[in-house]
């Protein structure tokens, strides 16, 4: 998707740096062969490597997907002790070798806390440049609302995912809009079922139960959506959800990577301010914020142990 122009546009040539661990180098060679066989005009080079220093050398964008996935019955935070050290190493390598304006998307779970750790170990790169992926949750929510209302998924916008990419996240459709026959209406009016709106679960666990593996295709698409919007900008008056460093907006704890509604322009994101938040939403935001603070202190104790 990246190499065929879905992220940086149809006129932007690129070089892909592909990082994996030493036992996977043979498999990675196969990926390199397939990329060549795809005959992608925008792909001007591929650098397969097991060395983070080579992988992150002068990169402008980093998709951090290399991490252990959870199995059925696990919570994403169960991956913390296995994965958090990867993001320390990758943060240090980004700090030393990447461009100072590199934009980083963390996909590996627990994504929010891994993004925070990565940023902590890359002090020469602005904290705003480290983000975590909640776009898959947003896309899942939009798809389910579109199906319920009976419109194409592109007609549903402004769904918000607040907080952690975990079971405490708060998927909030109260500001969502649905375009029905050219007229934009509130999703709550289009669905006309408040209980359904509040009870829909946008979790990856159902996919893991069916596939015995994490979401892959939809996660890749969401990563591309996230980076495209960050690099190329969001549509005016519309917002998307991204895990970003919290400034305390909407009462969220500061200095955790918290998913907010953001609008992007000229390569910068801004938290959309002033949206009304009711008591139910406040309670949900507090719960997911608390979990992120707990994950942060657990991550630091794993790293410092």
Residue 76 marked in a binding site: yes
Q: Which is nearer to ligand OAA, 1 or 35 (CB)?
A: 1
Residue 20 marked in a binding site: yes
Q: Of how many residues is the chain composed?
A: 305
Q: Which is nearer to ligand OAA, 98 or 227 (CB)?
A: 227
Rounded-to-10 torsion of CA 225, 231, 234, 239: 70
Dist. CA 111–CA 105, nearest whole Å: 9
| 119-152 b/e (C-beta count within 10 Å ≥ 16 → b) | bbbbeebeeebbbbbbbbbbbbbbebbbebbebe
Least gap, CB of 240 to ligand NAI (angstroms) = 14
Residues that bind ligand NAI in the complex, under the rule CB under 6 A: 19-21, 24, 65-70, 79, 86, 107-109, 111, 133, 136, 165, 204, 214-216, 219
Closest to 266 (Cα-Cα) out of 240, 239, 231? 231
Q: How far is CA 123 from the centre of its chain?
A: 21
Residue 140 marked in a binding site: yes
Q: Which does 303 bind (CB under 5 to 8 A by kind): ligand NAI, ligand OAA, none?
A: none
Residue 50 marked in a binding site: no
Nearest residue to ligand NAI by CB is 66
Q: Which is nearer to ligand NAI, 53 or 216 (CB)?
A: 216
Closest to 66 (Cα-Cα) out of 99, 37, 89, 38? 89
188 forms part of the interface with ligand OAA (CB under 6 A): no
Q: Which is nearer to ligand OAA, 166 or 246 (CB)?
A: 166
On whether the CB atoms of residues 163 and 258 are closer than 8 A, the answer is yes
Closest to 219 (Cα-Cα) out of 283, 133, 284, 98? 133
Residue 83 marked in a binding site: yes
Could you say which of 136, 146, 240, 292 contacts ligand OAA (CB under 6 A)?
A: 136
Closest to 256 (Cα-Cα) out of 275, 274, 243? 243
Q: Which does 108 bind (CB under 5 to 8 A by kind): ligand NAI, ligand OAA, none?
A: ligand NAI
53 token code pair: 């220093």
141 forms part of the interface with ligand OAA (CB under 6 A): no
204 forms part of the interface with ligand OAA (CB under 6 A): yes
Q: Which is nearer to ligand OAA, 32 or 220 (CB)?
A: 220
Residue count, binding to ligand OAA (CB under 6 A) = 11
Q: Which does 84 bind (CB under 5 to 8 A by kind): ligand OAA, ligand NAI, none?
A: none
To the query of whether residue 165 is one of the catalytic residues in this protein, the response is yes
231 token code pair: 């690099």
Q: For 124-206, where are the E strands, in sequence order?
A: 130-132, 156-157, 160-162, 170-172, 177-180, 183-186
Residues 6+ apart with CB under 8 A from 304: none
Residue 164 marked in a binding site: no
On whether the CB atoms of residues 166 and 288 are closer than 8 A, the answer is yes
67 forms part of the interface with ligand OAA (CB under 6 A): no
Q: Which of 17, 44, 165, 226 is catalytic?
A: 165
138 forms part of the interface with ligand OAA (CB under 6 A): no
Which residues lie near ligand OAA (CB under 6 A)? Answer: 69-70, 76, 109, 136, 204-205, 207-208, 214-215
Residues in binding site for substrate? 70, 76, 109, 140
The catalytic site residues sit at 165
């Amino acid at each position: 998707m990246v190499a065929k122009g879905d992220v940086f546009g149809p006129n932007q040539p690129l070089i892909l740096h592909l990082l994996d661990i030493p036992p996977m180098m043979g498999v990675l060679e196969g990926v390199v062969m397939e990329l060549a066989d795809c005959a992608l005009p925008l792909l001007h080079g591929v650098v397969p490597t097991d060395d983070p220093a080579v992988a992150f050398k002068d990169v402008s964008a980093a998709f951090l997907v290399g991490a252990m996935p959870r199995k059925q019955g696990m919570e994403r935070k169960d991956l913390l002790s296995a994965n958090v050290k990867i993001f320390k190493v990758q943060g240090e390598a980004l700090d030393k070798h990447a461009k100072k304006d590199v934009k980083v998307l963390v996909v590996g779970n627990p994504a929010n806390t891994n993004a925070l750790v990565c940023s902590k170990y890359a002090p020469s790169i602005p904290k705003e440049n480290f983000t975590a992926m909640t776009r898959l949750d947003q896309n899942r929510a939009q798809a389910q609302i579109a199906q319920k209302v009976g419109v194409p998924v592109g007609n549903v916008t402004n769904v918000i995912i607040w907080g952690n990419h975990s079971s405490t996240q708060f998927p909030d459709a109260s500001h969502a809009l649905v375009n029905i026959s050219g007229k934009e209406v509130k999703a709550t009016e289009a669905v006309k079922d408040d209980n359904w709106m509040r009870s829909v679960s946008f979790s990856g666990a159902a996919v893991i139960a069916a596939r015995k593996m994490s979401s892959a295709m939809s996660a890749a698409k969401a990563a591309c959506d996230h980076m495209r919007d960050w690099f190329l900008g969001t549509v005016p008056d519309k917002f998307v959800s991204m895990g970003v460093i919290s400034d305390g907006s909407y009462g969220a704890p500061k200095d955790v990577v918290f998913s907010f509604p953001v609008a992007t322009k000229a390569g910068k994101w801004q938290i959309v301010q002033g949206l009304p938040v009711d008591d139910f939403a406040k309670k949900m935001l507090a719960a997911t914020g608390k979990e992120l603070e707990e994950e942060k202190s657990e991550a630091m104790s794993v790293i410092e142990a």
